[in-house]
Amino acid sequence: MATPMERYKKLFVGEALSEIHRYPLVSQELSSILKLGYRRFPKNVQALIFQDTLTAFRLLPDMQTSAAVSAAQLLLKSVEAVLPKQKRNLAIAELKHSKVAMKRHSKTREEEELDSPQLPEDVLRHIFSFLDVASLVSAAQVCRSWNLAAYDNNLWQKKYDLLFKDSSQSLTQKTDIDWRETFKNSYIAENLSKALRSTWGYCWYCDSIVWHNSLRCPKEQCRLKSGGKLVDHISTQQVVEYIMGGLQSNTYSSESESDEESVYGLWAYPKLAF
């Protein structure tokens, strides 16, 4: 039987933190694991979680997004509530250093933007029209010029028409529509009943929490064994139980959370930072 340390390592928290588009979500997940399970874990797991927490704070200057800053602040609250004094002080000091570095990086990037030639906004809009929604959201956080191009109303109208064909015709007759906001609201409503986001889930065939695609385990052998069966949504509390000793068949209940909680559950559905 796998140890708590082995199970925690299977989550690949440290690796996921280095990916800009996953950093906010993983930091939030780490925050919840700290609050819900840190004191229950053996010391070797506590040490690894602490290292991942320091890593999260250390990587913050490389993220340069408001979502990343908010996630780091949430993680800080868990650090202050759970960690013993010495570790708490080390983590807080690490975050302070990162915030200073982040301000320096931000100033340097602003100066570079002013000195470097920028692509015309219409060219950026054309390039962005080929991006999927998640990539478009990420592109909006790169710099001011990209942000302006990525917020283009016509661009979001095309995204809306593509995903919500049935309802787009009734809206096209209206004027002054904020298509980005309309897309966001429709996307959220759609996913209250359809689990189509790429995120974490529990696969019973490999006994692992996996980063799945369309709620299916990425491992080919599992897909073959399951016949393409969807992986289960799990709450952060269930992640803690998994680390401690694995999930039993009666641990998981799709009725334990409301639809809205499921959509916004940390390990079930990451929020898109619209």
Q: What percent of the chain has pLDDT over 90?
A: 23
Return the domain boundaries, the chain.
4-115, 121-191, 200-264
**pTM given for the model:** 0.62
Position 221 scores a pLDDT of 76
Looking at residue 75, its pLDDT comes to: 95
At residue 140's C-alpha, the angle toward residues 139 and 144, to 5°, is 115
DSSP per position, the chain: ---HHHHHHTT-HHHHHTSTTTHHHHHHHHHHHHHHHGGGS-HHHHHHHHHHHHHHHHHHHHH--HHHHHHHHHHHHHHHHHS-HHHHHHHHHHHHHHHHHHHHHHHHHHHHHHHS----HHHHHHHHTTS-HHHHHHHTTT-HHHHHHHT-HHHHHHHHHHH-HHHHHHHHT-SS--HHHHHHHHHHHHHTT------EEEETTTTEEEE-BTTB-S-HHHHHHHTSPPPBP--HHHHHHHHHH---TTT--TTSS-HHHHHH-TTT-PPP--
Is the domain 121-191 a CATH 1.20.1280 member?
yes
pLDDT at 81 (0 to 100): 95
Instruction: From 105, 80, 82, select the one nearest 35 (Cα to Cα).
Output: 82
Q: What is the pLDDT of residue 269?
A: 32
- The pLDDT assigned to 54 comes to 97
Q: What is the pLDDT of residue 85?
A: 96
The per-residue pLDDT for range 2-32, each reduced to its tens digit, is 899 998 998 889 888 988 877 888 898 899 9
Phi/psi of residue 209, nearest 5 degrees: -90, 125
pLDDT tens digit string along 155-210? 888 888 777 765 555 555 566 788 788 877 776 555 443 433 435 677 777 777 77
Indicate if the pLDDT at residue 76 is higher than 90. yes
Radius of gyration of the chain, Cα coordinates, nearest whole angstrom? 21
Q: Which of 28-37, 192-201, 248-257 has the highest mean pLDDT?
A: 28-37
pLDDT band at 262 (very low <50, low <70, confident <90, very high): very low
Contacts of 68 (CB under 8 A, 6+ apart): 20, 23, 24, 27, 60
Cα–Cα dist 182/151, whole Å: 13
Cα of 145 vs its chain's centroid, Å: 24
CA distance 137 to 115: 25
Distances (CA, A) of 207 to 1, 14, 65, 228, 249: 11, 20, 34, 16, 11
Q: Report the C-alpha gap between 131 and 136 in whole angstroms.
A: 6
pLDDT category of residue 108 using cuts at 50, 70 and 90 = low
Burial class (CB in 10 A: 0-12, 13-18, 19+), 28: buried
Write down the residue that tokens 């708590």 correspond to.
4
Looking at the predicted structure, is the pLDDT value of residue 255 above 50? no
Work out the pLDDT band at 223, boundaries 50, 70, 90.
Answer: low
pLDDT digits (tens, 9 = 90+) for 112-151: 555 556 778 888 888 888 887 777 877 777 777 888 888 8
Bridge partner residues of 202 (DSSP): 209, 232
